[in-house]
Amino acid sequence: MEKRKIILSGVKPTGTPTLGNYIGAMKNFGKLQEEHKDDLFVFFVADLHALTTPQDPKELKKNINDVAALYLACGLKEENLLLFIQSEVVEHVQLSLILEGMTYMGELERMTQYKDKKQKQVEGVSSALFTYPVLMAADILLYDADFVPVGEDQMQHLEITRDLANRFNNRFGETFTIPEGLVVKTGARIKDLQNPLIKMDKSAPNPKGCIYLLEPISSVKKKIMSAVTDNLGEVKYNVKKQPGIANLMTIYSSLTNLSFKEVEKKYAGKGYGEFKKDLAEIVAQEIEGVQKKYNELINSEYLKNLLEKGKTEASKLASKKINKVYKKVGLK
């Protein structure tokens, strides 16, 4: 019988996810899991990665459980899922330290995300941010992941993971599976409601531009109704001339599966008011569904038991791998 494949993904618990996160990635994880129902889906809350930048301890603790509950609320199923919190499996850090000894400074200095974050961070850059890709490599290699769902901005991290796995295997003998990128169908990129030229982001300067998955439904509707449009008055998909309406149409299309042409036809001769009102109801209904499931999960024994079970199973796999690595490098 063929060994089932392992698909691995982790999410940082930094702030409440947004509508942009939901449409762009979160709601697709359930579909991906369904497509690979004969494989093992390893999904962890990457709380150690959150520490690369300053965090409020109370907020971080809350966000860790929120992320686990929200991803389940957005479609992850228990059947072929291994769900756990990264920091509860100490082997992630142990393997990261081993791999750091095989990683060159130049490789890390070339990482695009490091350069970008270095430019944005005002208060100096931590060494943890610099070595972030090594911990990410450890996350993947620890479980012999066959596939890692990646977007374009993460391909560089996967490449350094593959390089480190090959480097270790060449030096110490076959130890790690070389992971492959799983280019998944991502949802549309949702823009800021007040400035449709930038992406919807939880750290946006204007809070009215961003919809959070856990904010009150009345607030969600208000933000849609007050979203920036234009004075042309036509519901047409034209990113250059009507970026605000194009963004709202993208949200509409993503949540109803109607094409842009179908949306245009539906609102032909009608003003923005009716379109926005309908969209506000569609978004509210979608988020309400997520919040209902989240509220059922967040303080439940079910979530607690699922994370505990995940921790136990992940620890077994990780312990076996780290023992093998320690023997190879001479620590055992």
**Pairwise CA distance, residues 152 & 26, whole Å:** 17
Q: Which of 199, 208, 236, 328 is the catalytic position?
A: 199
> In terms of DSSP H, where are the helices of the chain?
19-21, 27-35, 47-50, 57-73, 91-100, 105-109, 112-120, 127-130, 132-141, 155-172, 217-225, 243-256, 260-266, 272-297, 301-329
**Pairwise CA distance, residues 317 & 67, whole Å:** 23
Domains annotated for the chain, with CATH where assigned, are 6-188+301-329 (3.40.50.620), 207-294 (1.10.240.10)
Q: Which of 202, 208, 236, 293 is the catalytic position?
A: 202
**Pairwise CA distance, residues 265 & 29, whole Å:** 31
Lowest mean pLDDT segment, chosen from 52-56, 87-91, 165-169, 305-309? 52-56
Q: What are phi and psi of 7, to 5 degrees?
A: -110, 125
* More confidently predicted of 123 and 299: 299
CA Rg, the chain, in Å? Answer: 22
Percentage above 90 pLDDT, the chain: 78
Q: Provide the whole-model pTM.
A: 0.90
What's the DSSP call for residue 4?
P
Let me know how long the chain is.
332
- List the one residue out of 90, 89, 49, 58 whose CA is nearest residue 308: 89
Note the pLDDT tens digit of each residue in 207-228.
Answer: 999 999 999 999 999 999 999 9
Percentage above 70 pLDDT, the chain: 95
Note the pLDDT tens digit of each residue in 265-288.
Answer: 999 999 899 999 999 999 999 999
- Cβ–Cβ < 8 Å for 60, 13: yes
The verdict on whether 199 is a catalytic residue reads yes
The verdict on whether 3 is a catalytic residue reads no
The verdict on whether 309 is a catalytic residue reads no
What's the DSSP call for residue 243?
H
Q: Which of 117, 208, 236, 328 is the catalytic position?
A: 117
**Pairwise CA distance, residues 208 & 225, whole Å:** 11
